[in-house]
Structure 1
Amino acid sequence: MTGEGPSTASRLPDSSRGSLLVAAGIALSRVAGLIREITIAAFFGNSVATDAFSAAFRIPNILQNLLGEGVLSASFIPSYTGLLARGRTKEAGKVAGTILSLLILVTAALVLVGVFAADTLAGIFAPGFTGARRELTTTLIRVVTPGIGLLVLSAWCLGILNSHRRFFLSYVAPVLWNLAQIVGLLVAGVFAFTEIEGAGTVVTSDARGLIIVLAWATVAGAVLQLAVQIPTVAKLEPDLELSLHIDRESGTVLKRFLPVVGARGVVQLSALLDTLLASFLVVGAVSALRYGQVLYILPISVFGMSIAASELPELSSDAAVGKRDERVSAIRVRLRTGLARISYFVVPTALVYVVAGDLIVGTLLQRGEFERSDTVQVWSIIGAYGIGLVAATWARLLQSALYGIGDTTSPARASLARVGTSLVAGAILMVQFDQIGLGPEGLTVVGDLPAFSLVPAEVREAADTIPRLGAMGLALGVSVGSWVELRLLRDRLTRVVGRFDVVGGVRDNVLQAAFLAAGTTVVVRLITEQVPVFARGVLAVAAATITYLLASKSLGFPLARALNGRGPDRRPARTASARRSNDGGR
């Protein structure tokens, strides 16, 4: 790049407001998603019906993730934002129209494949499912796939809105998607279906009907999510025209698109393979993995994605103009402030997941068909995810930094390494942990250790089979892979901008406060043994939050500094005599 334009360092904008808007939108969406999962758990628990829905949704969900938000953000936003930053708005509109046209064609074709090849897809990606689980999964794939296609188009709207710094709407729109599912499930569950128990190895006719209603509700929600964004997008791009003409700028987007699709494709293939592997575990493992992933993704989305998404347009603008030294300086500043904000929120979350995950899961899900053994099963999963939670969240910002400077190959390679590591480690560990059951008396070894083969099919499908910890092994594999990915991303970015601290320079302060907060949950657990699980969870989270805020404040890192991306106040505390001297002896 040439040195034309204002100095990058001097025009470095404060993106903390953007990250707050993204965080607010994502938080509302994720809260709605949690309520959806709470509702599903109450009606179905960890059952065959939930297994089928989880697998069915995972399979077409690869379409959304391959062509949707993450890919478009990394490939489309840098080019589109760069054109806007240079005042080339007409060309930006042409690029937007071309990309939308291509997305419509590709998405339509893949939706047709999903609908007409549903049975084949179910056999490929959930081969452990047989009988009723297999048939129900096939039916659900046919229903939910068109809705996923609409969510891809919604992701294009997000790209336009984010490039124009309209962060809140694009990230709060999924609330409507979740709300449609909640309303559909509650209305149908209360007024249309009565015998909805789906536990064991059979699914009642009412449970089958209700889960299909839930699938149709996902389609209705996708329509609402897309529709609410269209008016604002139309105002921002009033002259948008659909076109299949690929000019130089559109070609640049497509060149970036393919490596990013490769990176996302590898990650999504990993998620599909996790579902495939979990289908060979005891009934309920796929459902438990689903609930665990919701809680795992929550802090990554709210704290990692919000910062990474708000920084990407700024990083792209910084890379478009200014001298090299100025661009590098701006990137380093953004990395340090963004990583400090992420660390402040995610480090304590990860520790609490490990130490008190059962209280969190119990508070959110333990009711109706969801029992105490299900709670412990999901706790084992989020505790395993917690080991790699900070690495996965830091990696989101490092990916955005590389995408912002036009490097889409390095994140793809890092993702490939992450997936390979996760699958190998996860496959080995899941076989071992599936020999450990959750009986009435606690953890019990119900198989041979070390194990060299899967649990027999007749045991996996038996109605009286107790929950097991096989899915925990898959989660541990993901955590190991996340640390490998982070190391590769950090090494690559270090070669571009120099050395930097992935914790954002706040490691000691955050760790001290986080360990105090985690210790508080242990104390609450001991003194509230006779209290109902919902109240125990609320008390534990409240106590941990208050402890963390007070401890971090005493260490010079209060909430306001975290939100503004500032590290701890490292100024030495003034003594009383020094204060009196500065105040004129008063």
Structure 2
Amino acid sequence: MGASRAAAGIVVSRVFGFGREAVFAHHFGNGALADAWRAALRIPNLIQNLLGEGTLGASFVPVYARLVEEGREEEAGRVAGAVLGLLIVVAGALAVAGIWAAPHLAAVLATGFVGDDRVDILAGLLRILFPATGVLALSAWALALLNSHRHLFVAYVAPALWNVAMIAALVAAATAGLMGVDLLRALAWGALAGGALQLCFQLAFLRGVLGAVALSLDYRMRGVREVVGKVFPVIGARGAVNISALVDTNLASRLSTGSVGVLGYAQTLYLLPISVFSLSVAAAELPELARDRVAGRDAVRKRTERAASTVLFWLIPAAIGYIVFREEAMAVYRTGGAFGETDAAVAGLVLAAYALGIPASGTSRVLSSAYFALGDTRTPARIAYGRIALSIAASVSLMFSLDRHTIGDLGLGATGLAIGASIGAWAELALLKKGLAQHLGNVALGGAHTSRYLASAVLATGVGLAIRWALASAPPLVAAAGSIGSVAVAYLWITHLWGVSPPALADRFRRWRRG
């Protein structure tokens, strides 16, 4: 149930996120301004994720959940207040430093922009977005506490407010006649306002759960020392995907104009199934894994296997669907505005390349949670560093040669970056599984069900192809909804008939059939 509530919240947030992306694509398409915006989001997102959800989820939640489970609520509250106080200081200092160093960061973040207008646009956007970084990092503290108390829907639906504020700012500014860089700056101010709105919503709900939290900077408290001691290894492990995205942005800036933008459009879709089905499961299971540690490592292994099987159940068809129906997936951006057919074609190829690594990326999130619950934060960090190095090496070896091939005026170099990311994802999964065996024994990833997940996804894809053929003359959004929706329905039905649906889903099927 916990994963279902988290997934529901993420779905709502992602729906508004796609609305934001569609409005952005309509106004900016995939030109130089889109490149600047995608790059501008990278550093604030990196700091937010490293200080916030990624780090707090893996370092703070296990400690806090254990204290609550042991009946030490007062001590847990003091730890929460101290962590918040330290986070305010660190996030605030980084935000101020980011505003001051924005021109230098812009040149480092996107070296390929140096020498044209994009680097100045990027620096201006960073000055607005860095304060939002601190606000969103504090929001992640609230998310971690809501997770620990199993209020998962509220925790993950809150970012919808961030997306709503950005949509409202962009639409209002465009209606007022703003264009170009001025319109982009309005979007950045909307992001700052949305972060504040998101945090206020979470704090209002959290106050009803915890009451007042006493702020402090007591880093010597035992629980706080334990959290701080895990921070840096966790940053390496949880932050791998963010650091990799930062490197990808820098590399893409060296490719043809539009490559950073097209990479961002593809990544938004790529992250959707991972967020809904992997992040939700990992978020729900991390506190439970920490509690299961008291019961013994066999309990941790069994819970990890169930979580991995659930993630693979959803991510295998998602990966195949993105590869086969990549053009239909891009229909969300085709609103008759600046995002054109060439942009959709190249972004679709990048999405297909990312899709190759979706099952590995999602499952790695679950295995990392098992390590963190067992108190081992260093092994996932070391493996994450190796993943980044391998991804960069593979990307660099592919991207420049692929960029010489074009669709219209847009090079295919970004596809090489996505292929490199997928190669790194599978290597990371293999190493995480091997290392976890030393703690828990062999951890089965999906077990005998995996082959049936794959077969079911292939059969369901056949149904989707038939529907796509039947809807060939329909509007793009209708054809996309029909073909992709039919794949989802067929997959759920086939796996149910074969008896390989996750237990919670199988129970819902039985209740539905009984009426």
- For residue 502 of structure 1, report the CA deviation from its aligned partner: 1.2
| Counterpart residue number, 1:211 | 184
| Counterpart residue number, 1:494 | 437
Q: Please show how residues 559-574 of structure 1 align to structure 2 within 5 Å.
A: 561-562=504-505
1-structure distance, mates of 2:62, 2:332:
41
Q: Please show how residues 551-562 of structure 1 align to structure 2 within 5 Å.
A: 551-558=494-501, 561-562=504-505
2-structure distance, mates of 1:309, 1:563:
22
Query: CA, structure 1 residues 289+397, in 2 after alignment: closer, same or farther (shift >3 Å)?
Result: same
Return 246-255 or 69-78, whichever deviates more.
246-255
| Counterpart residue number, 2:237 | 263
- For residue 524 of structure 1, report the CA deviation from its aligned partner: 3.4
Q: Could you tell me which amino acid in structure 2 is paired with residue 480 of structure 1?
A: I
| Counterpart residue number, 2:136 | 151
1-structure distance, mates of 2:181, 2:147:
40
Does residue 117 in structure 1 map to residue 95 in structure 2?
Answer: no
Does residue 223 in structure 1 map to residue 196 in structure 2?
Answer: yes
2-structure distance, mates of 1:519, 1:394:
26
- For residue 139 of structure 1, report the CA deviation from its aligned partner: 0.5
Q: Please show how residues 25-424 of structure 1 align to structure 2 within 5 Å.
A: 25-129=9-113, 130-193=115-178, 206-245=179-218, 246-319=220-293, 321-322=294-295, 327-365=296-334, 367-424=336-393
2-structure distance, mates of 1:243, 1:503:
44
1-structure distance, mates of 2:432, 2:16:
32
- For residue 191 of structure 1, report the CA deviation from its aligned partner: 3.1
Contact 2:91/2:133 (8 A) holds in 1: no
Q: Percent identity?
A: 39
Query: CA, structure 1 residues 386+84, in 2 after alignment: closer, same or farther (shift >3 Å)?
Result: same
- For residue 264 of structure 1, report the CA deviation from its aligned partner: 3.8
Query: CA, structure 1 residues 432+333, in 2 after alignment: closer, same or farther (shift >3 Å)?
Result: same
- For residue 536 of structure 1, report the CA deviation from its aligned partner: 1.8
> 3-state SS of the aligned residue for 1:396?
helix
Contact 1:341/1:565 (8 A) holds in 2: no
Contact 2:387/2:427 (8 A) holds in 1: yes
Which structure carries more helix by proportion? Answer: 2
> 3-state SS of the aligned residue for 2:112?
coil
Q: Which runs of 5+ in 1 are unaligned?
A: 1-16, 194-205, 440-465, 567-586
- For residue 273 of structure 1, report the CA deviation from its aligned partner: 1.1
Q: Could you tell me which amino acid in structure 1 is paired with residue 42 of structure 2?
A: R
| Counterpart residue number, 2:463 | 520
Contact 1:360/1:537 (8 A) holds in 2: yes
1-structure distance, mates of 2:215, 2:139:
16
- For residue 560 of structure 1, report the CA deviation from its aligned partner: 6.0
| Counterpart residue number, 1:478 | 421
- For residue 491 of structure 1, report the CA deviation from its aligned partner: 0.7
Select the structure of larger CA radius of gyration. Answer: 1
Query: CA, structure 1 residues 315+227, in 2 after alignment: closer, same or farther (shift >3 Å)?
Result: same
> 3-state SS of the aligned residue for 1:128?
helix
> 3-state SS of the aligned residue for 2:411?
coil
Query: CA, structure 1 residues 167+215, in 2 after alignment: closer, same or farther (shift >3 Å)?
Result: same
Q: Could you tell me which amino acid in structure 1 is paired with residue 166 of structure 2?
A: Q
2-structure distance, mates of 1:265, 1:179:
26
Q: What does the per-residue CA deviation read over 1:49-77, in whole Å, with 9 as the maximum and x for residues that have no partner?
A: 11111111112221101101011010001
* C-alpha RMSD of the superposition: 1.7
- For residue 36 of structure 1, report the CA deviation from its aligned partner: 0.6
2-structure distance, mates of 1:268, 1:425:
18
Query: CA, structure 1 residues 394+563, in 2 after alignment: closer, same or farther (shift >3 Å)?
Result: farther
Segments of 4+ in structure 1 off by > 6 A?
563-566
Q: Which runs of 5+ in 2 are unaligned?
A: 510-515
2-structure distance, mates of 1:181, 1:257:
31
Return 409-418 or 263-272, whichever deviates more.
263-272
Contact 2:496/2:506 (8 A) holds in 1: no
- TM-score, length of structure 1 as denominator length: 0.84
